[in-house]
Amino acid sequence: MKRNYKVILIVLALSGIFVAFRQQQTAKNKEIAIITGVQRVIEYAHYHPAFINNDFSEKVYKEFIKDLDPSKRYLLQSDIDSLTVYKNSIDNEIREGKTDFYQKAYAIIQQRQAESIDYINDILKKGFDFDKDEILNIDYEKIKPAKTKAELKERWRKYLKFNTLSRLYDKIKEQEQKQKKDSTFKPKSRKTLEQEALKATKKSIKTYIDALKDMEEMDYFSMYMNAITMQNDPHTNYFSPQSKERFDTSMSGSFEGIGARLQKDGDFVKIVEIIVGGPAWKDGKLKVGDLIQKVGQGDDEPVDIMGMRLSKVVKLIKGPKGTIVKLIVKRVDGSIETIPITRDRVELEETFAKSLLIKDENQTFGYIYLPKFYINFKEQNQRSAATDIKKELEKLKAENVNGIVLDLRNNGGGSLATVIDIAGFFIDKGPIVQVRDKKNKIDVLKDQDKSTIYDGKVVILINELSASASEILAAALQDYNRAIIIGGKSYGKGTVQNFIGLNRIMGDEFGDLGALKWTTKKFYRISGGSTQRKGVTPDIIIPDNYMYLKVREEDEPTALAWDKIDKVRHKTYEIAGKSKIITHEQQRIDTTSLFLHIKEKARWIADNKKDNTIYLKLDKYINDLKKNEAIGKRFDSLTKFESNFEIYSLPIDIKAKEEANDTIFKTKRDKWIKAIKKDPYISEAIKVLEKEG
């Protein structure tokens, strides 16, 4: 969103609150300054201010304990018992500028982590019996804290056994594959393979221990701050100076790595986005939803990243252009794969809006992919999602297309200003979204431009990962009856955040205090309902792999509630035969074998995620993997879908790239076109356009 005078007023108001504090508290340490600054923002400036009371205190207590030891391999029940005295007093500490709870918890986790290193070394010296029938339970939510150090050590033993067992299995498979290729190949004995697997585990664990030792106190303090801030809502977050620096780097649009966005998922790290044009996208093997289990550098033995901080995993994956990183990932179907990716420079250019032409019999349609609502706030004359979409629409109009598909799947949002402009390209003029602040003041943001860039048929594709700005655009064009929305129910993020450096509030005498992103407003459709939690429900719902997974805003425990306000007057357009199209297409989709199969797979994926048992006996471990692989093969037919459309780049784009001597444009486009031909959702979007009069 554009920075405006209201943000400045908030900053000035907050600064006034802290004048007296700064004069009286100059001797306080950096952590006290941070916690006090955060407290004032979440209590006074947040859209839904927190009531910092005993209930708030207990929630912070539980969240921080969980974050300190998510896999329950460090803290004893007695440790947690010793901290319970703070359960109802953290609120008082926050107000009084104290950190007693945090300091004691930090001291305990440091002690237990040091002890765990001794457990690990002792366990690895003894090795493992892979014929012993036992299991590892990874349902950490239900596992109770260990009562004794012996119990903690046993948890480490099983974890390390699993770690080594997975390596042993990989080595056995490698031997089998070599035997198939070469009948003269002499496989190594199982004992030798066990020794090699154990050696690899020792090397991997050493890296893990080193990473653990590398963690600074500020890493833990940031964890504590976020346990506090996220009680307001999931999108209010504290950024330490280091994490703020990483955030700024990520926003710069250029870095060297694999081109994938990551997110912590239990002990592992999940792929949540593949950046178009990046190395992972070009390679095509890494998929959204894959869980990274290990990371290797070149030919080195992969490092186990279970339980490792996300920042450390990112550091392992990033690296100089031309070097190779190996990712061992667990697919959503349960299979394990090793994916080597050559790092390269990831340019923002590849994430800008772009378009193609799709021809089916005697009709030609335009397809526009918009990965996010980008804008350069520092240089207003630079390209943005709005300026680029306008250009793509004008180019497609020049080709006399019979309709346009706007693909907002996996688009997590971005600049609100660009949404207003883009929505305006499809309507004469009028309201686009309503925004309400904490004082219940409602602003109606409008498209003031009477001109329309494109007045033809429009279908918008969304899914469960279409969020925020994507939802505003889809909702607005749905309310105007200007487009048919198809796909999966969207994410449901209907809130606005601002970013503020805590030094602007607290002054500079404490050094760099980092920054806070906090929720200031809420979005509402022009029809009155909020997009918060409920998101946007498509006119035509199409099953996908995410449909039964808990990935939406409504699955976040601290997500703000849905509500509604009065609608605003707006024009409605007419889509010829819309009701019949929706009824017919929904019935067809609901009975099409392809989508019934996708729905079946989605259910299986959701059920498979509930399986928290890992077998630690070699033959049972292998049988379990083979069973999952066999089930997964039932869905191999889904990868065989391919439309009969003729898909090609716009002539004007080809000419521009030739003039710019872009030698890889055709390669990238061919790969993109191939992916689109195999995308059944785009195929459905075209079918809907064909049905419109």
- Residue of 504, 276, 503, 509 lying closest to 410 (CA atoms): 276
Task: Provide the β-strand partners of residue 260.
Answer: 274
| DSSP-derived secondary structure for 327-339 | EEEE-TTS-EEEE
In this structure, the strands spanning 404-407 and 458-462 are parallel
Residue 69: helix, strand or coil by DSSP? coil
| 680-691 and 593-609 helices, crossing angle to 10° | 140
Amino acid identity, position 37: G
Helix (H) or strand (E) holding 583: helix 578-591
CA–CA distance, 496 with 436 (Å, rounded to integer): 10
Helix (H) or strand (E) holding 211: helix 190-214
For 180, the token pair is 């198939």
| 273 touches 260 (CB < 8 A) | yes
CA–CA distance, 80 with 66 (Å, rounded to integer): 11
Q: Is 493 a catalytic residue?
A: yes
For 625, the token pair is 């993997």
Q: Is 479 a catalytic residue?
A: yes
Out of 493, 522, 599, 601, pick the active-site residue. Answer: 493
CA–CA distance, 322 with 432 (Å, rounded to integer): 46
Helix (H) or strand (E) holding 630: helix 618-633
CA–CA distance, 575 with 572 (Å, rounded to integer): 10
Number of Cβ within 10 Å of residue 198's Cβ equals 20
Task: Provide the β-strand partners of residue 288.
Answer: none
Instruction: Give Cα 123 distance to the centre of its chain.
Output: 36
Q: Is 300 a catalytic residue?
A: no
CA–CA distance, 524 with 532 (Å, rounded to integer): 8
| 610 touches 319 (CB < 8 A) | no
CA–CA distance, 107 with 325 (Å, rounded to integer): 35
For 147, the token pair is 């009562």
CA–CA distance, 450 with 425 (Å, rounded to integer): 9
Out of 116, 468, 490, 649, pick the active-site residue. Answer: 468
For 336, the token pair is 């394990």
CA–CA distance, 152 with 79 (Å, rounded to integer): 13
In this structure, the strands spanning 515-524 and 540-541 are unpaired
- Residue of 676, 653, 675, 677 lying closest to 665 (CA atoms): 653
State the DSSP code for 530: B
Amino acid identity, position 675: A
Out of 69, 91, 447, 479, pick the active-site residue. Answer: 479
Burial class of 665 by CB neighbour count within 10 A (0 to 12, 13 to 18, 19+):
middle
Catalytic residues: 468, 479, 493
